[in-house]
Amino acid sequence: MEQRSAMDIDLDALTVETVQAGFRAGQFTAEQLARACFDRIERDNATYNALIFLNPEAIADARKIDERRAAGETLGPLAGVPVVIKDPMDMVGFPTTAGWTKLYSNTGGVDLMPERDAPVVARMRSAGAILLGKTNVPVLSHTGSHANDSWAGPTINVRMPDRVPGGSSAGTASAVASGMAVLGLAEETGGSIQNPASAQDLVGIKPTIGLVPNAGVVPLSGNRDVVGPIARNVRDAALCLDVLAGYSSEDPKTLAGVGRKPEGGYTSAMKPDALRGKRIGLYGPGWRAEPLSDEASTLYERVKRELTDLGAVLIDDPFAGSGFAELRQPTAPLKHFDARGLESIPYDLEKYLQRLGKHAALKTFAEFAEATKDENPFGPNGVLHYLPSLADFRAALADPSLPPEMPEFVELKARYLTIFDTVMSAHRLDALVFPQMRNELPPLHGKDVIHETTVGEINIAGLPGIAVPAGNYRSGSPFGLIFVGRQWDEAALLGYAYAYECGRG
């Protein structure tokens, strides 16, 4: 079959499956596909501001994939697939700026140049993915709503440009939604995978903590940070998780995930009838004492009918009377975000800086603090000004070489998990399915934030969640769901999300 030119490839319709089918059929090569993505970036990135650095090696990397394929090598599903990387993830050849002027030499700061890739970036390279570049984030990934304060300027929501794009993985979501890339790496501490995925009609996987290594990623919390994919459909996200998941000696907590990866991979439970007979818990005040908006409630009622039509058995507010909702406690002076677990950021940053290598511009937290003292992120006007309200933060700040004990966070996590497991068992639940947000997206440049249903709860407990599109508000604002389950339940959740995706058509 005659190969298409780069301009003829329909980037908006591409999935991992169609990319590989195109390679097999000779419709295009990996090099042509990468060139097509760069053409799209040149055309649209000025509008959406999704990518902040482009990888000059990407075309050569794609050419090597073509050579390997031509030589008859067996390649994995991500070989030749164009991917973007969230800026806080270390990628050799690029500064890791975390969206902050203080960490970028072109804006008067210092460049943090890693000597090696973060494990998740290395795994994507090893899988043959074509790394197109790095994506925009807000300063220190501090918000789950937008990237308005990034040194690179705001990222724009592709689906609804006057609304927030979701953060902090805003650039990754906009790059995938706009067809600049097929897949993107994202990271979540407090909504930063699920929010941008839902805000732009995409699929996002927030994994169980410990499933995917997050060494080499600028931290907010070593106790909560997780790396996961953002994709256009459930299967693509699952295939990416296959590559990302697994033990890394650089991240000891991944030892907990050994033996947890499903036989056959994360697509193994994907069947159109996967929801048949499954018991699904619904959102209610027992989970969180914050109601859905009237329109979100109407949209959720439609989802309930769809789930029932797919054979699911729905259980109304299974957490009622469990004490679960009472555990949530926004961190003063914040009104919505529970930051417990972020107390360790001085220690986590110290360990991150040590990993950069012996030639790094900043090697310790003390050097970081000195280099950024005129914009102290933990000060009264800093983006993380609420952290001094947390128990043990000041102790961690006083000696970043020692990890804080954080007994309050540990006890809270234990209580969340105990109640969660008790309720799931008592009602024989297979999963929870909630609206991912309680109301529609706020304006891009307003003061309001995304009001989600699971940030804090699943971040502190370390539970997995799969965000999937589920329609729109009358305004056009995306409406999405999140499938939540027990620790290590990603494969089952992906099966349910896939069945819902298939059922919606």
Helix (H) or strand (E) run with residue 264 in it: none
Structural contact between residues 153 and 186, judged by C-beta atoms closer than 8 angstroms: no
The tokens for 344 are 């360790």
First to last CA, the chain: 30
Across 431-460, b (16+ Cβ under 10 Å) vs e yields bbbbbbbbbbbbebeeeebbbbbbbbbbbb
Q: Tell how strand 313-315 and strand 279-282 pair up.
A: parallel
Structure letter (DSSP) for residue 89: B
Residue with tokens 């890739």: 117
C-alpha–C-alpha distance, residues 374 and 376, integer Å: 6
Q: Are 206 and 465 in contact (CB under 8 A)?
A: yes
230, β-bridge pairs: 184, 204
Alpha helices in 71-169 (DSSP H): 119-126
Cα gap 71→88, rounded to integer Å: 36
| Positions marked active-site | 86, 168, 192
Quick one: which of 218, 175, 150, 165 has its CA closest to 195? Answer: 165
3-state secondary structure of 288: coil
Contact 42, 51 (CB under 8 A): no
Distance CA 218, CA 95 (A): 12
Distance between CA atoms of 400 and 32, rounded to whole angstroms?
Answer: 48
- Residue 141 neighbours by CB under 8 Å, 6+ apart: 88, 98, 99, 167, 168, 187, 189, 192, 218, 220
Give 481's strand partners: 435, 468
Q: How many residues does the chain have?
A: 505
Q: Which helix (H) or strand (E) holds 31?
A: helix 30-48
User: Six-digit token pair at 149?
Assistant: 């304060």
Element (H, E) at 435: strand 431-435
Read off φ and ψ for residue 205, nearest 5 degrees. -110, 115
Q: With contact defined as beta carbons under 8 Å apart, do 116 and 90 qualify?
A: yes
- Using CA atoms, how far apart are residues 248 and 227, in angstroms rounded to an integer? 13
